[in-house]
Structure 1
Amino acid sequence: MSAASDAARSILTTLHEVMAARTHTQAKLNQVVEMIGEALDSEVCSIYLLRDGMLELFATRGLNQAAVHVTRLGIGEGLTGTIAQNIETLNLDEAAAHPEFQYRPETGEEKFHSFAGVPIVRRERAIGVVCVQHIDPRKYEEVEIEALQTVAMVLAELIHNAGLVDDEDAAGGPSEAITGQTVCEGLKLVKGLALGEAVFHQPRVHIEQTVAEDTEAERQRVYLAFDRMREQIDHMANQAEFGTGGEHEQVLETYKMFAYDEGWSRRINEAIDSGLTAEAAIERVQQRTRMRMREISDPLLQDRMHDLEDLANRLIRIVSGQLGTAAQKGLTKDTILVAKNLGPAELLEYDKRRLKGVVLEEGSLTAHVVIVARAMGVPVVGRLRNLRGLVREGDTVLIDGDAGKVTLRPGNGVLSAFEARFARSREKQAAYAKLREVEPFTRDGERIEVMINAGLRDDVGMVAMTGADGIGLYRTEFQFLVSAALPQRERQARLYREVVDAAKGKKVIFRTVDIGGDKSLPYLANEIGKEDENPAMGWRALRLALEREGLMKVQARALLEGTAGRELNVMFPMVSEPWEFDAAKDVFEKQIAWLKKRKHQLPSAIRYGVMLEVPSLAETLDTLLPRLSFVSIGTNDLTQFLFAADRANPMLAERYDWLSPSILRFLARVVQTCVGEPVDLGVCGEMGGRRLEALALIGLGIRRLSITPAAVGQIKELVRKVDTREIGEAMRGWLANPPPDMRTALSEWCEAHDIEID
């Protein structure tokens, strides 16, 4: 048994006796601070509890007794307030040197130099702080801090049971912050409006009993939980669909390394030795992990510590028997899903009819769940700190994904305004729906192809629902993103076959897998390279696929088999130079030869194309055109490459305009290169789904747009109001002599021609 376990067990035994005694609450707390101070040989021990939104000094050993119930600190105020706000531990050899230090003269603490404090946490919320001080300037030993953290964990339940704090106070602020309307601003991840009731993705595991009655029984519970967790991890490894010895095994080994880490299990055992239950012991070690994560600046090490956090969450759910998510229980009402973070496969488990939006405490523009949510048309707002401390299950939640705002428990006025805005949106959608069977011809008779972007099997139904001309971009990587291991060839082929069948004869353009960069796969992490300083311009898409020839061979065969007897349109992403296209096409040609030799049925026709996303390709496009059937300009990546601006960076996301003369002149040059060549030229990306931008593209000569399904109706309506000769002439004039603001010039042109803009 370690020194930390000895100290903690000694304190816990006495603490349990003190709190079980039939004495007044204040007398108990007075005994507790004396007991902790003596056990840790500390001259000061103080307990602050959260009452009416303030941290109130409830008991102290070593400070002036006159300060008890007098000294009060706000959340975030002073060292104690900082601990409660950040739910973190502080260990300082010189308290006054900390930037948040505040001196309170009534406490008489000026003679004490060292300071250590830990939060008293209940149900993920700080309900108080226990801190110790010493006259000598020294940091407390790690064993002393661990003992203090263990005591704080037990103290949380005892304080709550004694009725010293209530649930509103435990939220970390005044009760109004929990019961009234609250507006939170976060990061715009997926645009859109949504209204529903809050449902937690993972119901909280509430640790109701922290002190163990039988240490050996708790140890056995942990051993069994470890065995089950390791079985789950091994099962993930055995599901690898490319056989043994693949790269997925190298990545899963990292995950397994943590699952089988003897140091981790030893620390949990030591926490049990100190007198904690299995659940409390895991949580205790997890708290220590979180502390270390805050001290780590290396992003790769932080990722690995997050892996350990994920495993700890899995272990605590197994040992407590509280498995499963809200998806498995089923949604019964219009729902706003609340989560710390979320995986793409987890999101797909939810009933799309009931899931209206997602709000995340973390989340980023590049997260896989955001890519899938955008395809599903589910608004998402992220980076909402302490969200789960501000909202309860069943609360009404309003999402404005366009502004990155989330309103909790909206008042009647806000609800009425939202419903009116939503009603206007529905009216427009109803008008657009009437154009479903109408072909999008311009006023001067030009046919514009309006297609959709897709990535999920269910997305294909939107072709018929919107009246789109087909799928201009089918993102094959979605199948890879939601899989625990590389999807096998038969599974890929089955998906491609189902997609072509569901399209009912309309064109489908399959983009080969675009992974890497913002779409990393855990089972290919070593290949993709997590250490890319600029992943969007790193080892991704066709670059990775050509290097990983086995990956591309399998997908090529799957596409050829899945579209047998029908036309195959295949598009290669991130082509920078013509030789990359030639190399990718050669992979397909070799698979065609292999299938021919074995008398397999082939597609009736094969059309090859490229995504023009890397500006360098435009410089050699003329030499490549004779070998192409089509070109799709990927405006999302192209924009960030032209401006050297990472679109995942929120500081830059709105800075560069798609209607900048730089972008439009570049696109005009590409269009001119393709004039007279037997290739179809189109645009894939969000740019084509916005009315003003779509108008500019038509003016440049673009005749195929592939956009989000939600935008099809409004773009078809726009097309029918446009004369390509008029907008073409206007665009040529603007590009020759750019106006001060191209967006304003286009808007004024629309107003003069009675065309409604966004």
Structure 2
Amino acid sequence: MQGAAAAARSILTQLHEVMAARTHVQAKLNRIVDVIGEALDSEVCSIYLLREGMLELYATRGLNQSAVHVTRLGVGEGLTGTIAENIETLNLDEAATHPEFQYRPETGEEKFHSFAGVPIVRRERAVGVLTVQHVDKRKYEEVEIEALQTVAMVLAELIHNAGLVDGEMLGERPESHSGQLVLEGLRLVKGLAFGKAVFHQPRVNIEHTVAEDTEAERQRVYLAFDKMREQIDHMTGQAEFGVGGEQEQVLETYKMFAYDEGWSRRINEAIDSGLTAEAAIERVQQRTRMRMREISDPLLAERMHDLEDLANRLIRIVSGQLGTAATMGLHGDSILIAKNLGPAELLEYDRRRLKGVVLQEGSLTAHVVIVARAMGIPVIGRVRNVRALIREGDLVLVDGDAAQVTVRPGQGVLSAFEARFAQKQERKAAYAAMRDIEPFTRDGTRIEVMMNAGLRDDVAMLAVSGADGIGLYRTEFQFLVSAALPQRDRQTRLYRDVLETAGSKKVIFRTVDIGGDKSLPYLASETSRQDENPAMGWRALRLALEREGLMKVQARALLEGAAGYELNVMFPMVSEVWEFDAAKAVFEGQLEFLKKHKHKLPSVIRYGVMLEVPSLAECLDLLLPKVSFISIGTNDLTQFLFAADRANPMLAERYDWLSPSILRFLRRVVLGCTGHPVDLGVCGEMGGRRLEALALIGIGIRRLSITPAAVGPIKELIRKVDTREIGEAMAGWLANPPENMRAALLEWAEAHEIEVE
């Protein structure tokens, strides 16, 4: 037989004429099975389409015509159903020997022995099956199978345009297709959300599969390859990826695929068969996906996913559809599905409609997680094969508390989730009612409840949440979401806006905590470092003191932005007292400059530190006379105390915040600050959890800075606590720790009728 491309081109030429004819779709399909059967010299050619959840024989050449619209098979039933269920090709010299073979007497197929079938695929789901059969016992040649697969792709377009298959297969009722699916992942941001799945980089819908001009299509692919390779070269050359290590190997593999001549040759062969550029790329990818299902080696499977990413990129380039879902706009409540995201990309989305994020990758320290937490959007990461298991329009439930994603939920599961969601909303409303109530304990102790922020819009949550102020304003967010280093005037405007919006409420600005895992490409230079453990590397104040110009600009912007206001400046990652002295000296130098030039100055300037490096606790006696406040950063402090990288999923849940090690350390800091005019507080996720907050109050912490969403629940908790009672209990436990501190604290809270979950 002629080559695969020639065979497919011969069939497609005739199919193009059939599709262009002004006849009913049934007549077209009847003609198409004749064309395919004649071209492949096959006595039988049949088309099955998915209708009402069953594969219905819709057109045939060679089988009994009385079986058309009568013979129906379930997905997974018989050879045809197996092809649809597994989205795989079958090629058998004796059909009856296959374990899934089923005989249907009404079709008259008993005299045919050989069988081949390929799935008709639309949006990565089988919407039908194309089969051929022959009297002789022979396997169909590879070129014949290739031709069938190419023709099936064109059939998918015809079937879709005619609206012949079940609505849910095309995304109209996704929740009813394929049944419920529960996926596990890594909890990145807690919370509940539900909505329709939206891909950050939506797959391009290929509407035209048959080419008018083969050479024109080939040129489009050549140009797209050039542009894609240019993008990949730029990506691999970006300084943020550094030199050496696993990430370089991954990117080099990615680059290898981009330049793979075999891949581009197969796309060219698909164009030779008569397909458009987009359809040719998709045709090759369909073959790749079928191979992926047979791969058991996880490393090789991951590399095949890289090729899938590149193919999607190439299709977007060749079609000119380069926008993300953000630029196209969201329609209704949406759950964003992505391999990974940057913080700037997340901020492009409409916050009113973006309800949750599901990532194939992602880590606890990723920039996008920090921003999502500030936005109050639940995020689940490390969900394997998420983009293959979820499709556009699927109803998705995101349980950030349990790190669970439910796709296409059944009605019972959906109702239960909605009830949980409604309960949470009711509790939120109850907490909102406490907005103007001051958080005094039962024994009259005032606990300061502040909130964390990092975006300009976050400051508006001050009024909504009823927080006492902003205990941590992460100034690095402006740097993370910018394509270039923010100029001083931009920084000044931001800080001014924050203070004006906060009004009389206190704002503590933390100087930039960048470097390490928060690398910024535009700050790369010969002094950049690729840290093996970025959390403990060249970051935060260490980097800022090295890049004195960066810190001087921020110091000047903060001093000018706070003119007439109280300015609270906090330095992160201070390990020794001299680092605080050096950082303060930068600010004092800029202050002298502004005084000299008669600039308006802040009414008061207070300096403080983040205590997150354990070594600083050993120098409290030296530090306390120099500072106005200390904020204990429990997130970093925990990983440093336990030598446990919190970005490592194997360690993320291993060490408990209610461990005696942590609580004893914190209690020692509290006692060390007692008697000094220094405000001490806790800044971090630990303070936003009710049971952990109870323990912190018990060891003497009187200021908490937490996420805006946690302010209401923590204020409500405070009003039920007697500091003397919990203080006595904590003192006893820390002197003689119980086997399980968390269990002991839970039991105590229950006995005192304090709800902590």
TM bucket (normalised to shorter chain) is: 0.7 to 0.9
Q: Quick one: structure 1 residues 105 and 431, their matched pair in 2 at CA, closer, same or farther if it must change by over 3 Å?
A: closer
Relative to the length of structure 1, the TM-score reads 0.73
Query: Cα deviations across residues 637-681 of structure 1 (Å, max 9, x unaligned)?
Result: 444555666655667655654323343234334434544566543
The answer to whether the 8 A contact 1:674-1:681 is kept is yes
The one-letter code sitting in structure 1 at the alignment partner of 2:724 is R
The answer to whether the 8 A contact 1:34-1:61 is kept is no
Distance between the aligned counterparts of 1:247 and 1:743, measured in 2?
41
Query: Cα deviations across residues 287-337 of structure 1 (Å, max 9, x unaligned)?
Result: 56767988772799679657635633531551xxx565564565675x234
Q: Quick one: structure 1 residues 26 and 332, their matched pair in 2 at CA, closer, same or farther if it must change by over 3 Å?
A: closer
Match of 1:433 in 2: 435
- Equivalence map 1:195-234=2 (5 Å): 205-219=204-218
The one-letter code sitting in structure 2 at the alignment partner of 1:314 is R
The answer to whether the 8 A contact 2:54-2:74 is kept is yes
The answer to whether the 8 A contact 2:242-2:530 is kept is no
The percent identity for this pair of structures is 57
Shift of 1:449: 2.5
Match of 1:559 in 2: 554
Contiguous gaps of at least 5 residues in structure 1: 96-100, 238-243
Count of aligned pairs: 716
The answer to whether the 8 A contact 2:688-2:710 is kept is yes
Q: Secondary structure at the match of 2:559?
A: coil
Query: Cα deviations across residues 534-572 of structure 1 (Å, max 9, x unaligned)?
Result: x7xx12475245786698445412320221154341322
Distance between the aligned counterparts of 2:688 and 2:309, measured in 1?
38
Query: Cα deviations across residues 456-478 of structure 1 (Å, max 9, x unaligned)?
Result: 11112223433323322223333
Query: Cα deviations across residues 366-385 of structure 1 (Å, max 9, x unaligned)?
Result: 45444322211123456497
The one-letter code sitting in structure 2 at the alignment partner of 1:564 is L
Query: Cα deviations across residues 36-79 of structure 1 (Å, max 9, x unaligned)?
Result: 589xxxx999977645546689999999x9x999896745x999
Which of 377-386 and 285-294 deviates more? 285-294
Match of 1:712 in 2: 711
Shift of 1:510: 1.0
Which of 485-494 and 285-294 deviates more? 285-294
Structure 2 residue 476 is matched with structure 1 residue 499: no
Q: Secondary structure at the match of 2:756?
A: coil
The answer to whether the 8 A contact 1:338-1:388 is kept is no
The one-letter code sitting in structure 1 at the alignment partner of 2:36 is V
The one-letter code sitting in structure 2 at the alignment partner of 1:738 is P
Match of 1:279 in 2: 278
Match of 2:615 in 1: 617
Match of 1:241 in 2: none
Q: Secondary structure at the match of 1:432?
A: coil
Q: Secondary structure at the match of 1:207?
A: coil
Distance between the aligned counterparts of 2:510 and 2:60, measured in 1?
69
The one-letter code sitting in structure 1 at the alignment partner of 2:552 is R
Structure 2 residue 128 is matched with structure 1 residue 124: no
Distance between the aligned counterparts of 1:298 and 1:526, measured in 2?
35
Distance between the aligned counterparts of 1:673 and 1:694, measured in 2?
20
Match of 1:32 in 2: 36
Q: Quick one: structure 1 residues 314 and 185, their matched pair in 2 at CA, closer, same or farther if it must change by over 3 Å?
A: same
Q: Secondary structure at the match of 1:32?
A: helix
Distance between the aligned counterparts of 2:485 and 2:91, measured in 1?
46
Q: Secondary structure at the match of 1:658?
A: coil
Structure 2 residue 631 is matched with structure 1 residue 632: yes
Which of 121-130 and 297-306 deviates more? 297-306
Shift of 1:699: 0.8
- Equivalence map 1:29-428=2 (5 Å): 29=33, 32=36, 35=39, 50=50, 53=53, 74-75=75-76, 102=99, 104=101, 119-128=119-128, 150-160=150-160, 165-168=165-168, 177-178=175-176, 184=182, 186-187=184-185, 188-194=187-193, 205-219=204-218, 271-284=270-283, 287=286, 297=299, 305=307, 308-309=310-311, 311-312=313-314, 314-318=316-320, 324=323, 327-328=326-327, 335-340=333-338, 343-352=342-351, 354-355=352-353, 357-360=355-358, 362=360, 364-366=362-364, 368-380=367-379, 383=383, 400-403=399-402, 404=404, 406=406, 414=416, 417-418=419-420, 421-422=423-424, 424-428=426-430
Distance between the aligned counterparts of 2:79 and 2:671, measured in 1?
65
The answer to whether the 8 A contact 1:553-1:587 is kept is no
Distance between the aligned counterparts of 1:288 and 1:624, measured in 2?
68
Which of 691-700 and 425-434 deviates more? 425-434
Q: Secondary structure at the match of 1:728?
A: helix
Shift of 1:707: 0.5
The answer to whether the 8 A contact 1:337-1:357 is kept is yes
- Equivalence map 1:672-751=2 (5 Å): 672-675=671-674, 679-751=678-750
The answer to whether the 8 A contact 1:520-1:528 is kept is no
Shift of 1:195: 5.9
Q: Quick one: structure 1 residues 165 and 464, their matched pair in 2 at CA, closer, same or farther if it must change by over 3 Å?
A: closer
The answer to whether the 8 A contact 1:339-1:360 is kept is yes
Q: Secondary structure at the match of 2:717?
A: helix
Distance between the aligned counterparts of 2:622 and 2:150, measured in 1?
67
Q: Secondary structure at the match of 1:275?
A: coil
Q: Quick one: structure 1 residues 301 and 542, their matched pair in 2 at CA, closer, same or farther if it must change by over 3 Å?
A: same
The one-letter code sitting in structure 2 at the alignment partner of 1:468 is A
Query: Cα deviations across residues 677-733 of structure 1 (Å, max 9, x unaligned)?
Result: 665432222221122211100111222211011221332333344332321111011
Q: Quick one: structure 1 residues 248 and 650, their matched pair in 2 at CA, closer, same or farther if it must change by over 3 Å?
A: closer
Distance between the aligned counterparts of 1:458 and 1:324, measured in 2?
25
The one-letter code sitting in structure 2 at the alignment partner of 1:686 is E
Shift of 1:209: 1.5
The answer to whether the 8 A contact 1:178-1:390 is kept is no
Relative to the length of structure 2, the TM-score reads 0.73
Q: Quick one: structure 1 residues 17 and 418, their matched pair in 2 at CA, closer, same or farther if it must change by over 3 Å?
A: same
Distance between the aligned counterparts of 2:546 and 2:267, measured in 1?
41
Q: Secondary structure at the match of 1:339?
A: strand
Which of 660-669 and 254-263 deviates more? 254-263
Structure 2 residue 464 is matched with structure 1 residue 465: yes
Q: Secondary structure at the match of 2:434?
A: helix
Distance between the aligned counterparts of 2:400 and 2:174, measured in 1?
25
Q: Quick one: structure 1 residues 706 and 119, their matched pair in 2 at CA, closer, same or farther if it must change by over 3 Å?
A: farther
Q: Quick one: structure 1 residues 3 and 456, their matched pair in 2 at CA, closer, same or farther if it must change by over 3 Å?
A: farther
The one-letter code sitting in structure 1 at the alignment partner of 2:33 is L
Match of 2:106 in 1: none
Q: Secondary structure at the match of 2:737?
A: coil
Distance between the aligned counterparts of 1:16 and 1:555, measured in 2?
63
Structure 2 residue 657 is matched with structure 1 residue 658: yes
The answer to whether the 8 A contact 1:671-1:681 is kept is yes
The answer to whether the 8 A contact 2:87-2:290 is kept is no
Distance between the aligned counterparts of 1:136 and 1:627, measured in 2?
93
The answer to whether the 8 A contact 1:625-1:677 is kept is no
Distance between the aligned counterparts of 1:227 and 1:372, measured in 2?
34
Contiguous gaps of at least 5 residues in structure 2: 104-108
